[in-house]
Amino acid sequence: RIAAGRLAEFLGASVVDFDRSLRTLGVYHQALRMFANLDQETKAALEAYASGVNAFLATRNRPLPPEFILLGIEPEPWRPVDSIAWGRMMAWSLSANWREELARFELARTLNAQQIREFLPPYPGQTRPDHADLSPLYRAVGKAMDTEKLANLLPDAGISAGSNTWVVAGDRAKTGKPLLANDPHLELTVPAIWYFAHLSAPGLSVIGGTLPGAPGVVLGRTDRIAWGFTNTASDSQDLFI
């Protein structure tokens, strides 16, 4: 419902602007296009996942989770495209560099490219690419722009401080095998976006953390390998005048 901009259906007028933002971004429409272009193997995995969710909903003999009871809503059948839509929302929650884009634009109103580089230095060990100095252009076309209003219009991704992954080599562990630690640093939510799952089938045993809608384990291990995931400070958003 979040990705489709449908929260106001049961939360009322207070979230209409939030729904409008998500519909303007076109998250669910994008998910529909992405699903149409998937290969058959991936489509089959998402369809099988949806069938499993809906089989549970059709045959459940226990109460729904507390959030459904508190909000007084019934879960709708899960669609394969819902998995993609929620994946897009996860991507949004891990993307917040539009604020940096806006800050750089504000600086360009008074500073040239070299001064901006001094004000926003590169990450240690990296160098900034040479760009044409577009500060005069930004000043000319941005005179009438209300950047504070724009900042208030764009939905906040709510990204937290960061995340990390690290490994200890096997020769430093008592077992002789490497150790993997992974901390995604995602904010706590109710209901939680992570849950633990153990998938067991002939030739398959995998356990770890996964996300609602994901037909697999996102962070976890098999009997032979372990893997983690971390994502911080990627340049994944652009603002256009």
Instruction: Render the burial of 96-120: b for 16+ CB within 10 Å, e for the rest.
Output: bbbeeebbbbbbbeebeeeebeeee
- Region 148-154: mean pLDDT is 74
pLDDT at 46 over 60: yes
Residues recorded for the chain: 241
Q: What is the pLDDT of residue 148?
A: 77
Q: How far is Cα 107 from Cα 111, in angstroms, rounded to an integer?
A: 6
DSSP letter (8 states) at residue 213: T
- Among 37-46, 156-165, 223-232, the least confident range: 156-165
pTM: 0.79
Both tokens assigned to 28? 């669910």
Q: How far is Cα 238 from Cα 241, in angstroms, rounded to an integer?
A: 10
Residue 123 C-alpha from the chain's centroid: 23
Contact 108, 134 (CB under 8 A): yes
Q: How far is Cα 170 from Cα 141, in angstroms, rounded to an integer?
A: 57
pLDDT at 155 over 80: no
Q: What is the pLDDT of residue 160?
A: 54
Active-site residue (options: 51, 93, 163, 234):
163
200 is a catalytic site residue: no
pLDDT at 188 over 70: yes
Contact 23, 15 (CB under 8 A): no
Name which of 80, 91, 88, 94 is nearest 42 in CA terms: 80
**Mean pLDDT for the chain?**
87
Contact 197, 217 (CB under 8 A): yes
Q: What are phi and psi of 64, to 5 degrees?
A: -70, 160
Confidence of residue 85 (pLDDT cuts 50, 70, 90): very high
Confidence of residue 15 (pLDDT cuts 50, 70, 90): very high
**DSSP strands (E only) in 63-210:** 164-168, 179-183, 195-201, 204-210
